[in-house]
Structure 1
């Protein structure tokens, strides 16, 4: 099947919408238009520091894979709107009725500020080859491992990036006291395993950050990382205990594409 790239499918979920005045990255993070429930997680997720660590700039061509509830969309869309290109690579779970689609419906100011590319397990072309300056994904590597298509996803990311382009990855860090489950069914990925997996796909590790580290997370919970906030998979059981532990321990890794 011939790939249909995002330049052909700019998002238009609202009938009307106003353009953003180009903010700085700090202004985009501190914008009053962001959902207050997402802003409440900034002290844990450190969006400004993480995007600065990746080296993001306003004129970049950026692809984000799997936006989830749109935490990063509300920051990246206005920041990149005037000078850059922002493409959201959406999976089947991001369609109508998803947390992402509901977020966009609640924020009409995001109208026409990003492009979308739909992909599935068989067709992973979400950007023309050698076109993206940055590909970013947040807490998704374990999902690709569970689906068994991590090598294919990483190969697609490598194709999409320009030579020397940056691949930014955040995910739940597994401890080294147990072998890595290749399916990462508990949501945790050992950092060394992630680095090895990604470097095999043609990337070079060029930076690590501990901004989202949480030493209270032992990576050994009844329902995996989802035992912890914000999911609280056990419901009310030991809720205070898990709330005190906080969100999972997360690595933040910066890779550069090598080769063509």
Structure 2
């Protein structure tokens, strides 16, 4: 539960209720309180995920209706559930059930757990807060009719690369962005954080299999889906991440995949930190 405190100590930096985001917008004191209520382990990732600045940039406020795409382990879910409050609504929107089977490492048990997690989203939210927030889980393939046109914000935080990697096979990205468009109110906004490929990178490598997408391609895919760019931010940029065609994003923290037997490579990846990420805000095109 959120703690009624005026300031928090996160990663050695004092963040008061008068904090200011990277775009010079003041941080809502209620958001500072929600951030303070988390575990020390979750707070350690703030240095790369910048949740206060990111959610402020996305113009999220208490009592809104927010759809979180691919909530995964719940890192942002916990923040949102406590910040939106009793008058808020939080939806966990996951990949279409058929998409889980497309991953080459998928096992029947893994698929079943991913599918079950969608319906279990309200229980996950309840594990983070008892403030009475409304919560519901569904997939991009099956957006309930009564939710269409009711959502203030849709967040796609590191959720686009897999949707894009299977686009040619099954139109997964097209389906998801159409669902996002249908969920939003006319004045609603979509917030995107995505691992960013260099614009000079090979287009095939930057399709999402390595976790990275080009910012220009992401903007283009949203424009094709009926959105227009409102703003872009470097809140989540990391200039130390310069991937080559041989790299995947999961070589970096927190996964550190593939460097268990090479201490030097592991140290270099730790020194790089989490990936370079674009941060974009879209609205429905007029």
Same fold (TM over 0.5): yes
Secondary structure at 1:241 match in 2: helix
Alignment of 1:5-84 (within 5 A): 24-31=30-37, 34-84=38-88
C-alpha distance in structure 2 between counterparts of 1:146 and 1:111, whole Å: 38
C-alpha distance in structure 2 between counterparts of 1:77 and 1:174, whole Å: 31
Q: Which residue of 2 aligns with 1:136?
A: 155
Q: Which residue of 2 aligns with 1:242?
A: 269
My pick for the range that moved more, 176-185 or 154-163, is 176-185
Q: Is residue 173 from structure 1 mapped to residue 196 from structure 2 by the alignment?
A: yes
1:235 to partner: Cα distance: 3.5
TM-score normalised by the chain length of structure 2: 0.74
Cα pair 2:187 2:284 within 8 Å, conserved: yes
Q: Which residue of 1 aligns with 2:222?
A: 198
Alignment of 1:81-120 (within 5 A): 81-91=85-95, 92=97, 94-95=114-115, 104=124, 107=127, 109=129, 113-119=133-139
Q: Is residue 145 from structure 1 mapped to residue 164 from structure 2 by the alignment?
A: yes
TM-score normalised by the chain length of structure 1: 0.81
1:197/1:183 CA distance change after superposition, 3 Å: same
> 1:12-54 CA distances to partner (integer Å, 9 max, x unpaired)?
xxxxxx8999x711111122xx233211101111000000001
Gaps of at least 5 residues in structure 2 are 5-28, 98-112
C-alpha distance in structure 2 between counterparts of 1:211 and 1:110, whole Å: 31
Cα pair 1:68 1:94 within 8 Å, conserved: no
Which stretches of structure 1, 4 residues or more, deviate above 4 A after TM superposition?
Answer: 18-21, 95-98
RMSD between superposed Cα atoms in Å: 2.8
Cα pair 2:82 2:128 within 8 Å, conserved: no
1:116 to partner: Cα distance: 2.1
> 1:70-108 CA distances to partner (integer Å, 9 max, x unpaired)?
11111100111222211111345645589x97x939946
> 1:159-216 CA distances to partner (integer Å, 9 max, x unpaired)?
0001121000000000011232363111100000000001111111011110110111
Q: Is residue 258 from structure 1 mapped to residue 285 from structure 2 by the alignment?
A: yes
1:50/1:97 CA distance change after superposition, 3 Å: closer
Gaps of at least 5 residues in structure 1 are 1-17
Per chain length, whose mean CA-contact separation is higher, i.e. which structure has more relative contact order (CA < 8 Å, sep 6+)? 1
